[in-house]
Structure 1
Amino acid sequence: MNEILHIYHTNDIHSHFENWPKIRHFLQRKKEQHARNNEEMLLFDLGDHVDRCHPYTEGTMGKANVRLLNELGYLAATIGNNEGITMPHDALDTLYQEAQFDIILANLYDDNFKRPKWTVPRKIYTTKGGVRIGVTGVTAPFYKLYRLLGWQISNPLKELETQIDFLKKQADIIVVLSHLGIHEDLIVAKLYPEVDLILGGHTHHVLEKGETDGQTLLAAAGKYGYYLGHVKLEIDLGAKKIVHRSARALPTGNFQEPHDEASEIEHYYFEGKKLLDKKLVYLPETLESDWFRDNCLAGLLCEAVMEWCGADCAFLNAGLVLGSLEQGPVTKFDLHRILPHPINPCLIELTGAQLQEVLLATLDPKWPHLELKGLGFRGKIMGQFVYRSIQFNHALRKIYINGQTVAPDRIYKLGTIDMYTFGNFFPHIREAEIHYFMPEFLRDVLEWKLVELYKVRP
């Protein structure tokens, strides 16, 4: 006799709630269908469900996302880097207080190298037919950033070795919830052939019909809820072995739309707006944003970053600022609207010669219209670069910092944004001594500067 097991999985939703009603409606119908057919159904999330770019997530510090997972009856989840390194320590530590599902995460510890009370490194679930499904989970190891937030992250491959050694003695089928990315998942499949199934995320890859590596099936469902992952396993109950398996990434654009979809999506947005409706300052005039010319708002943000970091100079791209701040009261929602990015300020130490190369590179005409995705950027294009305490004399081919010619051997402190340290923008920045300021985002730094300059009108 064989048992049919359906495993559904989401990953990298990034608070794209516009796709959530369709996913929920589809899964609710599948749950009923599988129950009628006496088939098992398990539901997992692989991290980055939370993304503070959405006002509802920001206003609840991710707890709204957890409630949505609860409503659908998720069995377990692991965390992604958006849960792990874009939230203050206490916010992550309390994120899952109301979770009605397991958080399976083997490679996260607190500063005392103890696992958080809200995680387990592995879990064994037993189907109606008595098949033991062993599940473990790991997340991408951003070592330095986790340390700055009061966490310790360990090597996920070494942690998997420990968990898989245990599970292969106790479980019939081994599943890994991975927020490592496709390249690491392929390594896991080669290192640990005992693993039957890797459900993957982080690199936003889509495996439309799954991918097999040895005895291991890999499945992944892209990003933003554009796909829903479905794995079907047929298990011989006598041998407790998989006899047939398949994986699909189902396009959610093909799913039936629930009748109240538009109002639900709108509800999430306006609930978030309401939660963020806290007046911060009163502006006597409009602060305008422009991606292609000098403007006061991007300049003010650049100045704020320089001061926040204690830097000699600063630069950033104007495309970070997605809109203007109108004359009148400014709320937390307004700052979130124009700076939705999970981007932190940082301080870079460079020699004068290195700094000069970086600054000359910012003058490349390719930048202003360059479309950019990932690296925390939630805008559309880079826009031109904006500078503080940096002057160019193009006629003399000289650069000045605070009115002084750049000295090649002097060490300068550059205030900028962490995005440039992750991407292939400026090699010298990636290779330099970097100090990240966390957990503050750019909107927090701009709020600090605005409060310093302006007052709230009663």
Structure 2
Amino acid sequence: MKLTIFHTNDIHSHLNTYAKISKYIRDERQKLSHDSLYIDVGDFIDLFHPLTEATQGKENINILNESHVDVATIGNNEGITISHDDLNHLYDNAEFEVTCCNLFDLNGALPRHIKPHVIKEIKGVKVCMIGLTAAFQQFYEALDWKVTSPLLALKNEISQLEGEYDVLIVLSHVGIFFDEQLCKECPEIDVILGAHTHHYFENGETRNNVLMAAGGKYGQYVGKVELEIEHNKVINKKAVLVDSESLEEVNVDYEQIGKTLLNRIILNRSFSLPRRLYSASYTTDLLCESVLEHTDSDCAIINAGLIVKGKVDNQLTEYDIHQMLPHPINTVSVELSGSELKQIIYIAMSQSYMNETVIGFGFRGDVFGGYVFKNISYIESTGQYFVKGIEVQDHEMYKLGTIDMYTFGRYFPTLKEKEIKYYMPEFLRNIFEQKLLQNEKNE
């Protein structure tokens, strides 16, 4: 018996590219004379796209339905960029099964419509698929979810399923290093379909007789795994990738539909919200002030590159704000001693990332830009630091408002070790919009 498994991962709402991938998979499956499955390994949604934003991912699920996907798992974008309630209802209309065995609500129940595993019987062969998602614990906790160790969750699920399956496929939205560990610790796995770290294998990679397959990011590739099964055991397996650049283009209007849905008017007067990367602007000052107020902090720091597009016009819509701030980035606050805050300000004042092109951390823009401050000042000649005009004292405590992008250790290593308070599910664009409306009301 032959079984072909088509797989995608980390599409991140690149829906124009996905349209031709979807057509390719549907066409190829029709040509086959044997059975096939189509599996998506998470981060199919990304709120940077206006259609995804407008529908909180539900239209993405309709698109997967149209693609005849069989099984999917969730990535961190499904898990932590929409609200608890929206995740619970994300798959209400799904015509496919969803599996993830390491995410629970506070009562220990899986999100609605999500199963710890899926078993499909194909010509007498029981194919078991188990989904896993990356354990962004603090983010999930802020949304009233509990995410557990993917390794322990998987081992527990496998032990409970002993004797109930013939072929074992893991849908791992955890990353390549985790998948390599799985190859060592769980040799009973036949195939790991990988995601999250945007890696890819042109012809798969086999370790400890476990085949790893992954397709990069943004629809770069379509994955295809071929299994040969005899006497209910996999006797041969191989993986290949198809470059989506080679696929036939499909005309879609997803962007325009999203723009139409986000047509709510925020400002109906003449305004100027410019984008400036290397000098202060009204836009970045307003955004930094909104972070300060939303986190109820003593001071705040952001970077100018968060403003992806400027807008000068006579009408501002929800779509315009989405285009200005497309990032799935939340605000955070952290308590710091004066000496720790000085270290943060010193690093920021050096502006060493100003021209850097940023990839990851939820950032959906291009250049980092200069740091922007609120209630912070510095006299270089004397080495004095001030918050609200008062000199910072080393042993006093200060509350800094900033963004979750800085908490991973890349920009301010000190923050990685600190207890962080996450303000979720509101994104920067949500609090920026509220600030604009508040200012409008007060004028």
Please report the TM-score for the alignment, with normalisation by the length of structure 2.
0.97
Q: Report the residue type matching 1:113 in the other structure.
A: G
Measured after TM superposition, the shift of residue 285 of structure 1 is 2.8
Name the structure 2 match of 1:438.
Answer: 424
Asked if the contact 2:73/2:132 (under 8 Å) is kept, the reply is yes
SS of equivalent residue, structure 1 residue 378? coil
Name the structure 2 match of 1:32.
Answer: 30
Name the structure 2 match of 1:256.
Answer: 248
Asked if the contact 2:13/2:47 (under 8 Å) is kept, the reply is yes
Match of 2:37 among 35, 42, 47: 42
Measured after TM superposition, the shift of residue 84 of structure 1 is 0.2
Match of 1:383 among 350, 369, 376: 369
Name the structure 2 match of 1:13.
Answer: 11
SS of equivalent residue, structure 1 residue 286? strand
Measured after TM superposition, the shift of residue 4 of structure 1 is 1.1
Measured after TM superposition, the shift of residue 376 of structure 1 is 0.1
Alpha-carbon distance in structure 2 between the residues aligned to 1:242 and 1:456: 68
Alpha-carbon distance in structure 2 between the residues aligned to 1:415 and 1:106: 34
Match of 2:175 among 160, 169, 181: 181
Q: Report the residue type matching 1:21 in the other structure.
A: A
Match of 2:118 among 115, 123, 127: 123
Asked if the contact 2:23/2:67 (under 8 Å) is kept, the reply is no
Name the structure 2 match of 1:198.
Answer: 192
Alignment of 1:108-119 (within 5 A): 108-119=103-114
Alignment of 1:386-405 (within 5 A): 386-405=372-391
Name the structure 2 match of 1:313.
Answer: 299
Alignment of 1:37-436 (within 5 A): 37=33, 39-128=34-123, 130-236=124-230, 239-257=231-249, 261=250, 263-264=251-252, 267-436=253-422
Cα distance change of structure 1 residues 300 and 456 upon mapping to structure 2, 3 Å threshold: closer
Name the structure 2 match of 1:4.
Answer: 2
Alpha-carbon distance in structure 2 between the residues aligned to 1:394 and 1:66: 53
Alpha-carbon distance in structure 1 between the residues aligned to 2:115 and 2:351: 50
Asked if the contact 1:282/1:455 (under 8 Å) is kept, the reply is no
Q: Identify the range of structure 1 (393-402 vs 351-360) with the bigger mean alpha-carbon deviation.
A: 393-402
Q: Deviations over 1:199-250 (max 9, x none)?
A: 01000001111111112111110100011111001111xx211221101122
Alpha-carbon distance in structure 1 between the residues aligned to 2:270 and 2:244: 46
Asked if the contact 1:168/1:174 (under 8 Å) is kept, the reply is no
Alpha-carbon distance in structure 1 between the residues aligned to 2:179 and 2:162: 18
Cα distance change of structure 1 residues 310 and 283 upon mapping to structure 2, 3 Å threshold: farther
Measured after TM superposition, the shift of residue 288 of structure 1 is 1.5
Alpha-carbon distance in structure 1 between the residues aligned to 2:149 and 2:177: 15
Q: Report the residue type matching 2:142 in the other structure.
A: L
Q: Deviations over 1:171-218 (max 9, x none)?
A: 111111110101111111211111111101000001111111112111
Alpha-carbon distance in structure 2 between the residues aligned to 1:360 and 1:139: 37
Q: Report the residue type matching 1:116 in the other structure.
A: P
SS of equivalent residue, structure 1 residue 135? strand
Alpha-carbon distance in structure 2 between the residues aligned to 1:160 and 1:199: 14
Alpha-carbon distance in structure 1 between the residues aligned to 2:226 and 2:409: 37
Q: How many pairs align?
A: 443
Alpha-carbon distance in structure 2 between the residues aligned to 1:108 and 1:365: 39
SS of equivalent residue, structure 2 residue 349? coil
SS of equivalent residue, structure 1 residue 437? strand
Alpha-carbon distance in structure 2 between the residues aligned to 1:67 and 1:454: 37
Alpha-carbon distance in structure 1 between the residues aligned to 2:111 and 2:375: 44
Q: Report the residue type matching 2:246 in the other structure.
A: N
Please report the TM-score for the alignment, with normalisation by the length of structure 1.
0.94
Asked if the contact 1:193/1:215 (under 8 Å) is kept, the reply is yes
SS of equivalent residue, structure 1 residue 124? strand
Asked if the contact 1:55/1:276 (under 8 Å) is kept, the reply is yes
In percent, how many aligned pairs have the same letter?
A: 40
Q: Report the residue type matching 2:215 in the other structure.
A: A
Q: Report the residue type matching 2:325 in the other structure.
A: L
Alpha-carbon distance in structure 1 between the residues aligned to 2:223 and 2:193: 9
Asked if the contact 1:43/1:75 (under 8 Å) is kept, the reply is yes
Q: Deviations over 1:323-343 (max 9, x none)?
A: 223242221111101000000
Alpha-carbon distance in structure 1 between the residues aligned to 2:125 and 2:80: 36
SS of equivalent residue, structure 2 residue 350? coil
Q: Deviations over 1:376-406 (max 9, x none)?
A: 0001011011111111212222211111111
Alpha-carbon distance in structure 2 between the residues aligned to 1:409 and 1:177: 48
Gap regions ≥5 residues in structure 1: none
Q: Deviations over 1:313-370 (max 9, x none)?
A: 1110000001223242221111101000000011011111111111111122432101
Asked if the contact 2:16/2:254 (under 8 Å) is kept, the reply is no
